[in-house]
Structure 1
C-alpha cells in the first residue's frame, strides 16, 4: 500500500504574492481554494466560525459544558493533580475502574471525585431503568387486573409498549451493519492479526467483526448478550491516513476497551438511550390547534424532568468520558508513536472537508450526462480522496489548528477539545512506536480491504 499522507510537520507559511494583512501589513498566507489569513496576527484565521455552530440549543449547551470540562481536566492532567492519561493499560479496565497513575496512587482528590461521580451515575441510571420496570409492571397490572374496566387496560397496554421501547438493549450486529460491509476473521486474516496485535499492546483483546462504511470516523462497540466486540471502520478517515496514523487510530479505539468509560457500560449507556428516547417522544409539536397546545402543556412537566435527568447523568459521566479519550490518545501514542498520534489529531481537523469531498463525488456521479464519462466513477474514488487530503498544504493545517483552538473544536459533545488532545500528547514524553506497519504488511492489509473498498465506493456513488 502506498502511503497517502505524511505525519504533520511544523507548517511553513508561504506568502501569497501581492497580498498583505489589512490589520498588521504582514504578507498573508493561503489563497486560491484555501483561506487567506495572517500568521502574525490571526486576521481571517477563522472566517466560518459562526457557520460551524452545532444546530440546536441543547447540543450547543452540551458542547460548551464539554469544552469547559475538557479544559479543566487538561489543566489537572498537565499539573499532575488528576489521573494521568494512561501510558500503560489500566488494571481496572474490565470493571470500568480508573487507571492507576504512573506517578502513584489513583489521582488523589481527582480520582476520588471521579469515583463518586461514577457511583452516582450508576445509581441514577439504575433509577431510570427502575422507572422502565415500573411502567411494565404497572401496565401489566392494569391490563390483567382491570380488564373490562373502561379505558384502564388501554393505558396498561400503552405503558407496556413504552417499557418495551425504553428497555435496555444488547444491540444487534445485523441491524447496525445493515447496508454495510461486514468482515470476519476468515475474510481478512491479516487485518485481524494486526487488530489483535494492536489490542494486545494496549492490554485488551481483539474484535469479533469489522464493519466498513464510508464515514469519516471510526469507533468500537459491543453487540449481543455475550458482548461481542465490533470495530466500525470508516474509509473516509482510514484512506487519508498514513500507515502509522492508521495504527494510531486503531490504538485509540482499542484504548477505549482497555480503559473504562462509564458511558459505554451496559447500565449507564442504556439509561442514556432511554432518556434520549423519552426526550424525542416528549418533544413539543408545532401547535396547529388547541389540541396541540394542550398536549404540549401536559407533556411539559415530564419533558423538563427528562431533560434535567439527562443533563445530570451526562454531567456525572462527562469527566469520565473525557478522561477515557485522553487515555485512548495515550494508547494511540504507545502503539504508533507520538508523531503519528498527533498527526491523527490533525486529520480530524480536515474531516469535514473530506466528508464534503465524498458528498461531491457522490453528487457528481449521479448527475453526469450519459456518455460524459465512460469509466466507473467508483473506480479510483479512495485514491482521489487520499490525493485531496494529501494536497492540503502545511499552512492550512496551521490555520485549522489555530481556528480549532479559538472555537474549541470537538469531534462531538463527549470529546475534549481537539487542540487540547493534541497538546496533551505533545506534553508527555515522546513515545516511540511499539508497532511499525511496514510497506509489505500495509499492502497485505490493504489487499484484504480491497473488496470492501470497491463495495463501499459503489454504494457511495449510487447514493
Structure 2
C-alpha cells in the first residue's frame, strides 16, 4: 500500500504538470496529490500527554536498561515513556526509528526489584530476538493499511450519492481489508517470540522471578479497577479523600492492594487462565502457556540483581513522573 500511495503521488504530479491543456487533468492530479498526502506512511511518535524521559533525565535508569540490554544481546533505548496503565512495551518511533520503552506505573509499581529486572529483560528481549511488527517497513505497512481501511470505510447511513460512492469504493476497500488481514496473519507468528522474551526475563532475573511476573499479569485488570476506584473516591469525596492531594501515596496504596491478593486467588486465576486462554492482548500467546514454558524449562539463576542504592537512585529520578502520572490518574480515570 505504500507503493500505491507513492504511485498516486507520482500520477498526481504528472497530471498537474503535463495536463494543462485541459482543466480536468490538473484538478484530478491535485485530488490524487491530496489523497497521497493523507495516506502517506506514518511513523509512530512520542506522546505529548505523558512524561518522556531522556538519558539526561534519568542516568541511573538508563544505565540499568543498558546493562540489561547488553545481557540479552542488544542495545538500550533512546527514551522511556512513563504511563498510568498496567502494561509495558517497546517500539520504534520517527523516521530514524529510535527505540522507546513504555514503562507504565500501573505495572511497575506492583513489582519487586527482581521482577522489575525481569520486566526489562522481557521487553528488551523483543529487540534482541527481532519482532517484525516493530520493524520499520512492516510496522509502517500495517499502519498504512489500517488508514486505507478507515478512509475507504462505507458511510453508515448513506444518501443516494453516498451509496454510489460506497459501491464504487467497494473493490479497493475489500482489497485493503484483505491485505491487512493477510499481513496481520503472516506476522502473527511473531507473537511466538514472546516465549523467547520470557526466556530473556528468566535469564536476567531467574526462572522463578519470571514466573512471578507472569502471575502478576493475571491481576492487571484488578489494577485498572483499583486506579479507577481511587479516581472516583477522590472526585466524589467519598471516604473523606480530597481530590487536591489524592495522588499522594497512590502508587503505594496500589502496591499494597495487589500485595494483599492471597495465593489461593492466584491459583484460581491460573486455573481460569488455562480454561479461558487468558492473554495480555491478541498479539500475545496465552499467559498459562507462557508460564508453563518458563516453569518447565531448565531453572535459571538470576544473572543480575538490583541493589538498594540503585533502586533508590532510580526512584528519585522517577519521582516527578510518578507525581504527574498519579495526578493524571486521579483527574482522568473516573471518566
TM-score, normalised by the number of residues in structure 2: 0.92
Q: Distance in 1 between matches of 2:131 and 2:81?
A: 22
State the 1:195 CA deviation: 0.8
State whether structure 2 residue 209 is matched by structure 1 residue 352: no
* Equivalent residue for 1:206, pick from 58, 72, 76: 76
After superposing on structure 2, the runs of 4+ consecutive aligned residues of structure 1 that deviate more than 4 Å are 369-372
Question: Could you report, residue by residue, the CA deviation over 1:361-398 in whole angstroms, capped at 9, with x for unpaired residues?
Answer: 22332232897638610001101111111111212212
Correspondence for 2:12? 139
More RCO (CA 8 Å, sep 6+): 1
State whether structure 2 residue 304 is matched by structure 1 residue 431: no
Q: Distance in 2 between matches of 1:374 and 1:361?
A: 10
Q: Distance in 1 between matches of 2:243 and 2:232?
A: 16
- Say if 1:326 and 1:148 are closer, same or farther in 2 by CA, change over 3 A: farther
| Higher share in helix | 2
- Say if 1:375 and 1:150 are closer, same or farther in 2 by CA, change over 3 A: closer
State the 1:295 CA deviation: 2.8
* Equivalent residue for 2:178, pick from 303, 308, 316: 308
Correspondence for 1:193? 63
Does structure 2 conserve the Cα–Cα contact (< 8 Å) formed by 1:146 and 1:152? yes
- Say if 1:373 and 1:271 are closer, same or farther in 2 by CA, change over 3 A: closer
State whether structure 2 residue 203 is matched by structure 1 residue 330: no
Correspondence for 2:327? 458
State whether structure 2 residue 129 is matched by structure 1 residue 256: no
Correspondence for 1:217? 87
Correspondence for 1:442? 311
Q: Distance in 2 between matches of 1:325 and 1:293?
A: 44
Correspondence for 1:156? 29
Does structure 2 conserve the Cα–Cα contact (< 8 Å) formed by 1:286 and 1:292? no
State whether structure 2 residue 236 is matched by structure 1 residue 363: no
State the 1:185 CA deviation: 1.8
- Say if 1:461 and 1:372 are closer, same or farther in 2 by CA, change over 3 A: closer
List aligned pairs for 1:32-43, cutoff 5 A.
none
Q: Classify the secondary structure of the residue corresponding to 1:350.
A: helix
- Say if 1:193 and 1:144 are closer, same or farther in 2 by CA, change over 3 A: same
Which blocks of at least 5 consecutive residues in structure 1 are unaligned? 1-127
Q: Classify the secondary structure of the residue corresponding to 2:140.
A: helix
State whether structure 2 residue 39 is matched by structure 1 residue 166: yes
State the 1:142 CA deviation: 2.1
TM-score, normalised by the number of residues in structure 1: 0.68
State whether structure 2 residue 111 is matched by structure 1 residue 238: no
- Say if 1:149 and 1:352 are closer, same or farther in 2 by CA, change over 3 A: farther
Q: Distance in 1 between matches of 2:179 and 2:322?
A: 42
- The number of aligned residues is 332
Which blocks of at least 5 consecutive residues in structure 2 are unaligned? none
